[in-house]
Amino acid sequence: MTSWSVSACASLLSRLLEAPPERGPAELEARLRELGVELNDVSADGSALDPEVRAFVASLATLVRTRLEESRHADQVRERMEMLSSASFEGILVHDSGVVIDVNDRLGELLQAEPHTLLGPHTITDCVAAEDRADVLDRIASGYEGAYVITGVRRDGSRFRAELQSKQGKLGERPVRIAAVRDVTERERMLELLRESEQRFRDLTGTAFDICVASRDGVVVDVRGRLQEFLGYEVEEVLGRSVADFVAPAARLLTEQAIRGSVPSAYFSTLLSKQGEAVPVEITGVNSSLGGVPTRIAGVRDLREVRRLEAERWQLQHQVERMQRLDSLGLLAGGIAHDFNNLLVGVVGNAELLVTSVQTPAEQEAVLAIVSAGKRATDLTRRLLAYSGRGEIGAPAPVDVSELVIDLERLMSSARAKGVVISSQVETGATVLGDRTTLTQVLLNLTTNAVDALESSQGRVEVRVRRVRQPDSRFDEAIGATVGPGDWVLLEVEDSGIGMDEVTRARIFEPFFTTKQRGHGLGLAACLGIVRAHGGALHVQSEPGEGSCFSLLLPAASGAPRRTLRTPMTEVDPCRVLVVDDHPMVRAQMRRSLELRGFTVVDAEDGDACLVCLEQQHFDLVLLDLTMPGLAGPELLSTIRQRGIRVPVVLTSGYGLSSEALEPGSFQGFLQKPYGIGELLEAIERARSSR
């Protein structure tokens, strides 16, 4: 065998590897001859080789085939990797400390760039949004492995949300990092919509319910909402406990039925707070799942505020109905009193005329009895008018309520004789703007009723007067004016008597309702009307056997109270008087009463007739009824003054005087029907003197 040098063998092997034979030694021998290698001991037909050469050739062939298989396997792996890389839905990049050394086509598509342009040190910084760049570089520096989401920037400047999955790897012996990039813009949008939807659901649930409870087999597994504020428990105190532990005993059966699904999804129940308070609730439950496990979800709504508002609404409705009933009764009472007053003008006036004309004592006694009965009827109608709020309260003036209480104590000496203790607590300067006479009537009526409530037994009556700026909550239920912060005078009359039940309290201000054996039931009705006419409010607190307390609030006033002294009547000079009234009996009685005293009287039945008379004749005074059909008193008075007629006017009415519709100074006097001849003459004299 020809000797082979190491270099010759290496050269031969290299040339064989460039074009390796595919079959056995025969092909290898032929291949060697092609390469110009001469083999010794070759037979004539070339079929035999020297054994040593043959062994060398066989070894060489095995080596070549092994290298061939390795080459083929490497080609197949490379082809598969290229196929997977090109078919991948994710962009892939390989970088070394931020320097990109390889990318796939998908990454070029994501970034709208040619793959080869993405190689180098600037790709990561150029293709990551500025707000995420520092975070990405920190993760690269720390060797972070895992997924995270950033905002990517394409070559055209458009942005998209990208998820990066980073992992450490090797390229040969070179450490590299491999990152898979996926466009998750749509996924992130859907997740954001889902988060918004969940937030809306939580907001809606939080608005509709105070807490939401998840339970399995009656055991609480989750609680959301205002649990601590609602029931006083922390979440940890509730989890793992039975739902029944927080339900009032009377409602547990219904709760168990709801958990089993045998009652409607919405029902009312009662829970127990940590402090033991019974909490009325409305529960809406559905069967759902939590973590894939069947779960009962229940929304719980606190009804304490709802029940409170319902109670207030019922109370307000009750007060409105009560006020409407009292107003209706007042309207009826005022109408009756007005018409009755017109009748009493004729009755009392004609009776007074008869007193001077009858001869015998028996006739005089009969006529005086008529006058006395008429005056009692007058007092009755005035109480009716006071209840209706249309009675005469006089010219408003400062009145010291404390002074009225002190004066009242002197009048109640007879009650003290019966063993009744009457005490007072008054605050100086408790002044209101109103009428002293009617306010005295209110105080006298309330105190008399308090004494009567003791039923002739020993007891106490206490009268208190003070100024307040913030009335307490009891006046939320008061009758009369709306009460709020301000300057008020509080008058309280409290007794230790028999008290009243709810039915009696609801009717005590109705006219003609009374619990006394004797009485017409107009005392408290008149008190209510007077208080309302003064812009005040009245509240009654009473229980059977616990006594009663009447509380009045009147608007406070500044200024010192003053008393007006009436001068005795002197002779009245006769004059020409125009009587304007729609009631014939009133006009006839006025004519007779005044003509007997030397007056010249002309009467008119309505406003139009009055204006005709004033245009055609001269009068020294006009007696004008305020309530007439057609052109009523206020409009007629305004027309008279607009025409420049300056004649003194005395207004008359079966109701009280309401000055809101009257111009100040347009009239010189007022008479409330019924009135006597003395009151009439005095009003005429004062009106003429004022002119």
88-189 and 397-555: identical CATH topology: no
Nearest CA among 552, 435, 554 for reference residue 486:
554
Q: Is the pLDDT of residue 420 over 60?
A: yes
pTM over 0.75: no
pLDDT of residue 513: 72
* Amino acid, single-letter form, for residue 64: V
Please compute the mean of the pLDDT values over residues 161-167 and round it to a whole number: 90
Q: Residues 601-615: what's their mean pLDDT?
A: 90
Q: What is the pLDDT of residue 457?
A: 67
Element holding 101 (H helix, E strand)? strand 99-103
The CA distance from 13 to 570, in Å, is 162
Whether residue 3 has pLDDT greater than 60 = no
The per-residue pLDDT for range 30-42, each reduced to its tens digit, is 665 665 555 444 4
Supply the DSSP string of 447-493, one letter for each residue.
Answer: HHHHHHTTTTS-EEEEEEEEEESS--GGGGG-EESPP-SS-EEEEEE
pLDDT reported for residue 199? 72
Fold of domain 397-555? Heat Shock Protein 90 (3.30.565)
Q: What is the per-residue pLDDT across 454-494, written as a single tens digit (0 to 9) for each?
A: 876 678 888 999 999 888 888 887 887 888 888 999 999 99
- For 133, the token pair is 């760049």
Tell me the pLDDT of the chain averaged across its residues: 77
Over residues 43-52, mean pLDDT: 48
Topology of domain 88-189 in CATH is Beta-Lactamase (3.30.450)
Domain 576-690 has CATH 3.40.50.2300: yes
Structure tokens at 595: 């003509």
Compute the average pLDDT of residues 605-631. Answer: 88
Q: Could you give the CA distance from residue 259 to residue 272 in angstroms, rounded to a whole number?
A: 18
State residue 473's pLDDT score: 83
CATH number belonging to domain 209-302: 3.30.450.20
* Res. 621 pLDDT band, cuts 50 70 90: very high
Share above pLDDT 70 across residues of the chain, in percent, rounded to a whole number: 71
Q: Would the pLDDT of 536 be above 80?
A: yes
In the chain, domain spans:
6-84, 88-189, 209-302, 307-373, 397-555, 576-690
